[in-house]
Structure 1
Amino acid sequence: MPSSTNTPPQAVSLQYDGDGAPKVTAKGQGYIAEEIIQAAKEHHIPIQQDSELVALLGQVQLDQEIPEKLYAAVAQVLLFAYEVSGKELPRKSEDL
């Protein structure tokens, strides 16, 4: 019986610019996931591990906005990423 430690890594990359919902910009498992994670590390992009969220986000097509049912979970990830990186959250021009 395979153990969960033998499952290939999975990764999903998100982009959020303040307009609309975040978009899935890259996703994959195994070697591709390792490449996504390595690229994030090289560019000092914060990484958060959440296998359940990755599984759900992996169902979203590339360059598509995340579904509304994932907004709250992804908002927590974005807050984490912006806090860790010391950046401010993007704001819509109408909020300025």
Structure 2
Amino acid sequence: MDRQSARNESLQHRRTRKGGLIINKILFFAGLQEKVGREAVEADLSGKTVVEVKNWVEQKYQLSKVHDAMCAVNEEFAPDTIIIQENDTVALIPPVSGG
């Protein structure tokens, strides 16, 4: 079983609906969190790829730099081609620098 199939199978046991809508949590870190003004938002983004989620965030919050951010889905780093499933948590982590 490949990684995506295993992930989809494990999600079958955790899927929930909130008020009839499929809810995904989008977490923002560092500069993205400051620009959005919130740690997290909830939206129905199931069936969209990570890049489509980034496009949604860019349009909703005017964050052109969101495409530079790394993405984690359910605490695992994910490429832009991963499809978001029901109840997934998506974290957007911008590049950071330090000394």
Which structure's residues are more often helix, by fraction?
1
- TM-score with structure 1 setting the length: 0.31
- TM-score with structure 2 setting the length: 0.31
Using CA pairs below 8 Å that are at least 6 residues apart, which structure has the higher relative contact order? 2
Which structure's residues are more often strand, by fraction?
2
